[in-house]
Amino acid sequence: MSSVPASAFLALALILFCIGLYGALTKKNTVIVLISIELMLNAVNINLVTFSKYGITPSITGQIFALFSISVAAAEAAIGLAILIALYRNKKTVNIDEMDTMKH
């Protein structure tokens, strides 16, 4: 058995999620918001793997969900950056406050 308790992993996930939530809610730069969302998704992945290993019935289900979540996060990052590049070409800024409409 591992010498690191489950509470350490849960505390790490909590800290990462809180940092990501703070960044997503307070920052004006779209790239920082996307990175903050990725931090929150990684915190969820840590929770999934932790409960997969330390849960009542340890199984591989949490790890499979974590792999699925990682693939969704990768797709989200690619699509988010593509949308950000398209908006930057039209608006010449990455400030969230100035991106309130899709027209020129």
Report in angstroms the alpha-carbon separations of 48 from 40, 51, 86, 91, 97.
13, 5, 34, 39, 34
104 in a domain, yes or no? no
101 in a domain, yes or no? no
From the centroid of its chain, how far is CA 99? 22
User: Does residue 23 contact residue 36 with C-beta atoms inside 8 Å?
Assistant: yes
CA gap 55, 86 in Å, rounded = 44
99 in a domain, yes or no? no
- Which domain covers residue 78, as residue numbers? 6-92
15 in a domain, yes or no? yes
Output the pLDDT for position 79: 92
Domains identified in the chain, total number = 1
41 in a domain, yes or no? yes
Q: What is the CATH number of the domain that holds 84?
A: 1.10.287.3510
User: Does residue 46 contact residue 9 with C-beta atoms inside 8 Å?
Assistant: yes
32 in a domain, yes or no? yes
Residues 50-76 pLDDT 10s? 988 887 887 888 888 889 988 998 998
Entry pTM: 0.80
Output the pLDDT for position 24: 93
- Quickly state the pLDDT bin for 104 (edges 50, 70, 90): low
With 0-12 / 13-18 / 19 or more C-beta atoms within 10 angstroms meaning exposed / middle / buried, residue 48 is buried
Q: Which residue has the higher pLDDT, 3 or 18?
A: 18
Residues 13-44 pLDDT 10s? 999 999 999 999 999 888 899 999 999 999 99
Structure tokens at 57: 């019935």
